[in-house]
Amino acid sequence: MSTRRCPRCQSTYPAPARYCVKDGSPLVEVEPAMPFAPVMSSAAPARGGRAGSLRGAIAEDVSLTPEEVDRFATLSGKLLDKRYQVGRRLGEGGMSYVYRAQDTESGRPVAVKILLPRLSRDPAAVERLRREAEIAMRLDHPNVCPILRLGEADRMIYLVMPYLEGEPLSEHETRCGPIPVNEGIPLLVQICRGLRHAHELQIIHRDLKPENIMLVPDGTTDRGEPRHRAVVMDFGLAKERRAGPEVAKLTATGIVLGTPEFMSPEQIRGKPLDGRSDVYALGILAFEMFSGQLPFAGKSAQETMIARLRGSPAKLRDLRPELPAKLETAILRCLALDPAERHQNMDELGYAFESILATGVFGKLFRR
């Protein structure tokens, strides 16, 4: 029986498993041997102990020589494209790995996202990355992370993004547990604002999850407590609402499929999507933010997907009775099976969240 591996956390499963039960990543067939031992990512694990294996992933590309493998795996300290002084590795995803770097022209720190070499020779993967750049370069909002540049050097295709100090929401949840309402609601409102900006440009994110929300330090509250700005990251699965058939072909390649635990029912079924699919995913994210659990039970990613198609979500206040009833109502509406029964846009959802803390500064958070 063949063995399959999660490219993110390196867990292995017997066939016919298709998704990792820890992080929902599509599984890949295990190659017979790797010329190098895996090197674990220095990034903190998230969602079930996720960690990357950069050298191991690169070594799977048998078209590279050992010298080329080593070059891709040891970019720290190198000058990329005569401009970016590469620093430490920040992490790795299903299609790419990310380094911190210094832009020698502007002097500011940036994050450099490089397509894995085994995918850089796949025309569909390359086109997907170019499309990600073209989409994200149009985004301009404090709650969205833009793309600054798309480049190619030394057989590597890369994206340059602003480097954001902070931590992913997933790591914050792992470290601190469920988030207090007075901290979580402003973050959700900010996420709504960022997604509203994307939706106004006819862009749907399609892969909202805690790993794709960065919490950036943003001063302190009146009580002296740390305050964060939520930034929506990684529009790699983003899809223009009016995209043509060539985009549909790209999303069928199997390179990246989204994260099953956060997919809307219509996304699971492969139906046409609009901004209400992001509303659904944000509802799941909010439920997990306040409860530490997902609203649909299942022993695997496949089971949670089936539950979303056939079952009803858990009630937030069954898990945390002290939470406001308005919060439970707002989240349950996000999770309606029929998109017509959900909040119809991010404005509507933002105001629903805002009304939960309608006094003082919270009542003004959702203004443009």
207 included as an active-site residue: yes
Measured distance CA(90)–CA(260) in Å, rounded? 24
Residue pair 28/8 in contact by the 8 Å Cβ criterion: no
Helices (H), 53-122: 54-59, 66-73, 117-120
Measured distance CA(92)–CA(57) in Å, rounded? 9
- 275-291 vs 325-334: helix crossing angle, rounded to 10: 140
Alpha-carbon distances of 314 from 105, 209, 291, 310, rounded to whole Å:
52, 18, 11, 13
Q: What is the largest CA-CA distance in the chain?
A: 62
From 23, 103, 207, 234, the catalytic residue: 207
Closest CA to 97 of 134, 43, 145, 148: 43
CA angle (43, 46, 47) in 5-degree steps: 160
Alpha-carbon distances of 39 from 51, 57, 121, 170, rounded to whole Å:
10, 10, 23, 22
Q: Please name the residue that has the structure tokens 């085994």.
A: 118
Measured distance CA(117)–CA(55) in Å, rounded? 11
Amino acid at 38: P
Which DSSP letter does residue 42 get? S
Catalogue the active-site residues: 207
